[in-house]
Each structure stands twice: as C-alpha cells, then as structure tokens.
C-alpha cells in the first residue's frame, strides 16, 4: 500500500517529469515527502525506490546525507542552529541553551505537543550571520535572545 495519497503521488510524478532524467527530481521529491510526513520513513523510501527505479540504498544515501531530511518525525516547526566553527565563535552554544530553555526540550528532541523540534547542525553556509538559525528550511540570520523570543512568538 502506498504511503501517499493519490494527490501526493501526482505531485511526485510531477517532480519526476520535470527533468530529462526522472531521478534528477529525487531531491525535490524527498523535500516534499519530508514536508508531508515530517520525516522520510522506510515505507517512503521503498515507494521512492520503486518509483524512481533505483535500489532503496540509493534513496537512503540521499535521505541520510542531507540534514533537510530526517528519519524521525520533526515538530511542526523545525528549528536548526548551526554548531559550525564560525557560529560557535559567535555564541551558538549560548543560543542553543536559550532555545532549549524556551522550548523546554534538548538538542535533537521534539516538544511533547509536536510543535517544535530543535537540532544543532553543521555549517549552514551563512558563516557571516552567526550564530545562524534555520527555521523550517528558511535561514533567519544571526540568533540573539531577542530574535529567538520574537521568532517563537511568531511561530505560535
Ligand atoms: S559555521 Fe555556521 S553557518 Fe557556517
């Protein structure tokens, strides 16, 4: 049985049809699956492997290489904080402590109500904006205690 609705299957077909080689649409397909299921499950991988006509290990390789995709469900709002060197020097550890305190969860956890998940991540490619914050795949720039408070208000 498919882990996707007929409408979702049409969306996946659209990503595969968009490129000269269907497999080129895998990244977008995985992004879409992550958004729908808040993770990429084993069943999703099986389906995508058959859909794209590749071994499941190929899907797993991509799904585990990029931090955008997770194997465990994330919260409705996924908050990522860079722990790379530049961001560490800019204070990412204290911002992580601030986020953990305000959210009531630790790095790698999801809140009991499923609203938020918090993850520290490797370099987000925004080293000049440290400590870089990524919220639902959108770069939010340098985190401060004030910006974190504002952000969490907005995400209610
Ligand atoms: S080290 Fe944080 S964005 Fe590069």
Instruction: Give me ligand 1 centre to Cα 44, in Å.
Output: 31
Split at pLDDT 50, 70, 90, the class of 104 is: very high
Instruction: Give me ligand 1 centre to Cα 137, in Å.
Output: 15
Percent of the chain with pLDDT over 90: 92
Give me the mean pLDDT over the 51-65 stretch: 95
Please report the atom of ligand 1 found closest to the CA of residue 86.
Answer: 1
CA-closest residue to ligand 1 atom 1: 84
pTM equals 0.79
Q: Which long-range contacts (CB under 8 A, 24 or more apart) does 47-56 make?
A: 47/2, 47/3, 47/4, 48/12, 51/12, 51/16, 52/16, 52/22, 52/23, 52/26, 53/22, 54/23
């Amino acid at each position: 049985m498919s882990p996707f609705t007929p409408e979702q299957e049409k969306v996946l077909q659209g990503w595969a049809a968009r490129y000269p080689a269907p497999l080129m649409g895998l990244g977008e397909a995985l992004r879409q699956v992550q958004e729908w299921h808040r993770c990429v499950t084993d069943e999703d991988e099986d389906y995508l492997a058959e859909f794209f006509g590749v071994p499941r290990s190929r899907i797993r390789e991509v799904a585990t290489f990029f931090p955008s995709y997770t194997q465990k469900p994330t919260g409705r709002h996924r908050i990522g904080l860079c722990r790379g060197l530049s961001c560490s020097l800019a204070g990412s550890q204290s911002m992580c402590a601030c986020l953990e305190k305000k959210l009531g969860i630790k790095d790698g956890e999801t809140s009991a109500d499923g609203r938020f998940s918090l993850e520290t991540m490797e370099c987000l490619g925004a080293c000049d904006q440290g400590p870089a914050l990524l919220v639902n795949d959108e770069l939010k720039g340098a985190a401060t205690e004030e910006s974190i408070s504002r952000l969490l208000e907005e995400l209610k």
